[in-house]
Structure 1
Amino acid sequence: MRFLADMGISPRTVNWLKAAGYDAIHLVEEGLERLADDEILVKAREEGQILLTVDLDFGYLLAVSGETLPSVILFRLGNERYEMINDRLMEALNHFEEDLAAGAIISVSDEAFRVRRLPI
């Protein structure tokens, strides 16, 4: 799995993914911190990446696009520190690998995961 982290995701999460053997990059690493949301989706789609974000706009953009990729993991946690995101991300990866490969938005809260297959 390949990951692209949006600006709301800590670079520490990207480093943690890399240490776990995943291909992961943060927008900052590529100097793309000002890239528009729709362009971020295009980048993730073209590069086969799963987008990690806390930004609700990506769900809307995917819904209106009718696209089946990229998959998005959207974190809606009370505590969005990187340690909490890392813990919930590992749970999501352990349970929803097939959904992510097929194209899905996974909303991650403190209590639950909600999976919506694309297109919406």
Structure 2
Amino acid sequence: MLKFLTDENIFPSTLEILRSYNFDVMDIKESGLIGISDREIMDLAKREGRIIISLDLHFANIFLFPPNECPGIIVIRIKPAVPAKVDRAMEDFLQRMDPKKIEKALVIISEDKFRIRR
């Protein structure tokens, strides 16, 4: 089963969607870790074996955050990033994704598609 680490910018409704699929989700806000750096998030994901989910485009920089050095990174790239649009895109992604293909990869989710980069 996939395990996720959600950044503090992920909406509570998006967390609910992830959990409705019975994924193991650790949220930065719920864990009392608000304000930790992106590097600390990456290190936590490595230790916990979790795929990072964030709206933060810094995580899409494969030179700063190589996805093959952690369980994986998912960046949600939707403008404007409002709960309804993010939730719809996440639901679509979860219904179509192949868990094996997102491990140790960078996934960019947009409103109508997602891209996987290794």
TM bracket, shorter-chain basis? 0.7 to 0.9
**Runs of 5+ consecutive residues of structure 1 not aligned to the other structure:** none
- Percent identity between the two aligned chains: 27
Hey, what's the Cα distance between the residues in 1 that align with 2:106 and 2:66? Answer: 13
Query: Take 1:78 and 1:16, find their aligned partners in 2: how far apart are those partners?
Result: 20
1:15 corresponds in structure 2 to: 16
Displacement of 1:29: 0.8
Deviation, 1:46, is 1.4
User: How big is each residue's C-alpha offset from its partner over 1:50-103, in whole Å with a ceiling of 9 and x where there is no partner?
Assistant: 11111111122x4245561231111111242233222222332322322222x1
The size of the alignment, in residue pairs, is 115
SS of the aligned residue for 1:28 comes to coil
For the residue of structure 1 that corresponds to 2:108, the secondary structure is: strand
Cα–Cα, structure 1 residues 84 and 96, in superposed 2: closer, same or farther, change >3 Å?
farther
Q: Secondary structure at the match of 2:30?
A: helix
Match of 2:115 in 1: 114
User: Which has more helix, going by share of residues?
Assistant: 1
Runs of at least 4 residues off by over 3 Å: 64-67
Q: SS in structure 1 opposite 2:60?
A: helix
Moved more, 37-46 or 11-20: 11-20
CA RMSD of aligned residues (A): 1.9
Q: In the TM superposition, what is the alpha-carbon distance from 1:107 to its structure 2 partner? A: 0.8
The question of 1:52 aligning with 2:53 is answered yes
What's the TM-score, normalizing by structure 1? 0.82
Distance (whole Å) between structure 2 residues aligned to residue 66 and residue 78 of structure 1: 24
